[in-house]
Amino acid sequence: MQSQDEGSSENRATSPTESTQPSGGGAPPSSPAVTAAAAEATPTKEPAAASPEPAKAEPAKPEPAKAESSAPRSEPKSEPARRPTDAGAPRSRRPLLTYAILGGAGGLALWAAMALLPRPPSGTAPPPPPPPKPPQVLAPLPTSARPQVDVVFVLDTTGSMSALLDGAKRKIWEIARFIAQGRPAPELRIGLVAYRDVGDEYVTRFFDLTDDLDGVYQNLTAFHAGGGGDTPEHVSKALHDAVFRTSWSSNKNALKLVYLVGDAPPHTDYNDGFNHRAIAEQARSRGIVINTVRCGSDESTRMAWLDIANRAGGEFSSVEQSGGMVETATPYDGELARLNRALTETAVPYGSADKRARVLSKAKHSLEAPAAAQAERAGWFGLMGSRGRNAAVSEGDLLDDVANKRVDLNRLEGSELPEDLQGLPATERQAALEKKNSERSAILGQINDMSAKRDAYLRSKAAAAPAKGFDGSVRATVKKQAESIGLAY
């Protein structure tokens, strides 16, 4: 089927093309004919090289010429003039060899003398130009050996799922905080896939993994139930997005989980290339576990969900149509909601005007949550604070990013700072940030004290009535499956 082909094409990493490099070749050896020609050329130049010696004897030539006409006894004196013409005489090579040796020795002496001359001091060279100022880049937080937990919730958002969606919005901070409480402390990212069916407003809406939980909450609360009609939904397309579009961690010490939540089985009659069975098996080969949560009592959904979970190495569970989530009010929710607001007001958004506006919008949205959800959000940031990350919002906070070396305060342009800091001198700006950070630390301490009391209260209630809804299913499967990476709860 086409889905297997598409899934396979996405699964198969194209093997890198093997580049064939030409074999190295050296210069061809010298021809013997060339060598012999060079050797013959040398002696032909020797008489020319010896010409300086007879040139020095030229002043004495006129006198022997006169003696030759008057006295034959002077004939032997003319013999030295004929010796240079004898190219074969061995004695003519000795002066050349002597001159060569003396010339070479003189050249070496000159080179040595020049090498011993004092060199100009290095300071006379012009200094190199200063390096260009590097661009402002947000570096990732320092990597660590902490385990990674990636969770993607694949949610049916058709008309019959409104109660489940409302419960998920109330419980997302609680679920995130539970996962973050593992030992050793894990890094958590959450992604979302909403799905309906062909002919609805959309088939899928995809939000990739992120540690920006304020953004996750904002995206989740934007999901509204609608559409549907016939019982089956396009489950296969939703699973395809979750498995193949998500930026899963490549860390070997990572737990990669998908939660498929819905009340209707997959369409199997579209013939559009998406096959939920093949996708589930491919997920397992990639180390991705798919857990399925059936809402309601539809038998065809139970069979399909059980099959998907088995193929992907996950767990199947069934909850009420509403999701079965129970929200327990505590005497500490109101105070924690107040502390949550106070903490959020210490946020220092930075960057472009649009970026600062987005940070403030997400923070405001989180403050509109019910008191219990705000209490869980405050508890999340309190937990992060106890681990050394004093944050008030989950992304785009200047204090948090400077402390974690994601940004250099001195390299920010004035227009990238909040308006109340833009006109301040550097010393006053630093003092203002330190004061804000001290206020935040005090609030986080109060949050942790109050959260401990709230957690104790909730544990006493949970012992009498254990959670059996969607949130309980998530906690149970995370606790069991996290053991595979050495994570304990």
CATH number of domain containing 194: 3.40.50.410
* Contact predicate 448/303, CB 8 Å: no
How many structural domains does the chain have? 2
For residue 123, is it within any domain? no
* Contact predicate 170/271, CB 8 Å: no
Beta bridge partners of 204: 195
For residue 389, is it within any domain? yes
* Contact predicate 286/243, CB 8 Å: yes
Q: What is the mean pLDDT of residues 112-137?
A: 48
Q: What is the pLDDT of residue 230?
A: 84
Give the Cα separation of 295 and 168 in Å (integer): 13
Same domain, 322 and 336: no
For residue 94, is it within any domain? no
- pLDDT-above-90 percentage for the chain: 65
Q: What is the mean pLDDT of residues 310-315?
A: 98
Q: What is the mean pLDDT of residues 114-143?
A: 47
For residue 104, is it within any domain? no
Q: What is the mean pLDDT of residues 57-73?
A: 42
Same domain, 460 and 477: no
Same domain, 237 and 337: no
Among 71-80, 277-286, 312-321, the range scoring the smallest mean pLDDT is 71-80
Q: What is the pLDDT of residue 476?
A: 96
| Amino acid at position 428, single letter | E
For residue 168, is it within any domain? yes
**Which is higher by pLDDT, 486 or 77?**
486
The model's pTM: 0.71
Among 91-100, 169-178, 213-222, 280-289, the range scoring the smallest mean pLDDT is 91-100
Give the Cα separation of 408 and 185 in Å (integer): 27
pLDDT digits (tens, 9 = 90+) for 231-259: 999 999 999 999 999 999 999 899 999 99
Residue 9, pLDDT > 60, answer no
pLDDT digits (tens, 9 = 90+) for 80-115: 444 444 444 444 455 555 555 656 666 665 655 555
Same domain, 176 and 313: yes
* Contact predicate 205/226, CB 8 Å: no
Among 135-149, 210-224, 282-296, the range scoring the smallest mean pLDDT is 135-149
For residue 97, is it within any domain? no
pLDDT digits (tens, 9 = 90+) for 442-475: 999 999 999 999 999 999 988 666 668 999 999 9
Phi and psi, residue 122, nearest 5°: -65, -20
Same domain, 150 and 193: yes
Same domain, 296 and 368: no
Same domain, 284 and 252: yes
Residue 126, pLDDT > 70, answer no
For residue 446, is it within any domain? yes
Give the Cα separation of 318 and 470 in Å (integer): 8
Residue 75, pLDDT > 90, answer no
* Contact predicate 470/172, CB 8 Å: no
Residue 370, pLDDT > 50, answer yes
**Confidence band (pLDDT; 50, 70, 90) for 288?**
very high
Q: Return the number of other C-beta atoms located less than 10 Å from residue 76's C-beta.
A: 9
Residue 36, pLDDT > 90, answer no
Q: What is the mean pLDDT of residues 339-354?
A: 97
Extended strands (E) in 34-186? 148-156
Give the Cα separation of 101 and 16 in Å (integer): 61
- What burial class does residue 349 get, using C-beta atoms within 10 Å of its C-beta: 0-12 exposed, 13-18 middle, 19+ buried? buried
Residue 418, pLDDT > 70, answer yes
Domain span at residue 225?
Answer: 145-326+467-489
HSE at residue 161, side-chain half, CA atoms within 13 A, is: 29
Query: Which two tokens mark 409?
Result: 């305060």
Q: What is the pLDDT of residue 249?
A: 97
Residue 423, pLDDT > 80, answer yes
Residue 428, pLDDT > 80, answer yes
For residue 11, is it within any domain? no
Same domain, 424 and 476: no
Residue 335, pLDDT > 50, answer yes
Q: Which strands sit side by side in the sheet containing 288-295, from one edge to the other?
A: 204-210, 187-195, 148-156, 254-262, 288-295, 316-319
Q: What is the pLDDT of residue 228?
A: 83
Same domain, 282 and 399: no
Same domain, 319 and 373: no
Same domain, 292 and 350: no
Among 59-68, 142-151, 438-447, 477-486, the range scoring the smallest mean pLDDT is 59-68
Q: What is the pLDDT of residue 107?
A: 60
Give the Cα separation of 380 and 338 in Å (integer): 15
Average pLDDT, the chain: 81
**Confidence band (pLDDT; 50, 70, 90) for 410?**
confident
The DSSP H or E segment spanning 194 is strand 187-195
First to last CA, the chain: 42
Residue 15, pLDDT > 60, answer no
DSSP conformational letter for 139 = P
Q: Give SS3 for 195.
A: strand
Residue 119, pLDDT > 80, answer no
* Contact predicate 214/393, CB 8 Å: yes
Q: What is the pLDDT of residue 461?
A: 87
Q: Return the number of other C-beta atoms located less than 10 Å from residue 229's C-beta.
A: 12
Same domain, 199 and 223: yes
- What burial class does residue 73 get, using C-beta atoms within 10 Å of its C-beta: 0-12 exposed, 13-18 middle, 19+ buried? exposed
Report how far apart, in Å, the C-alpha atoms of 215 and of each of 193, 223, 239, 443 are. Answer: 14, 13, 22, 22
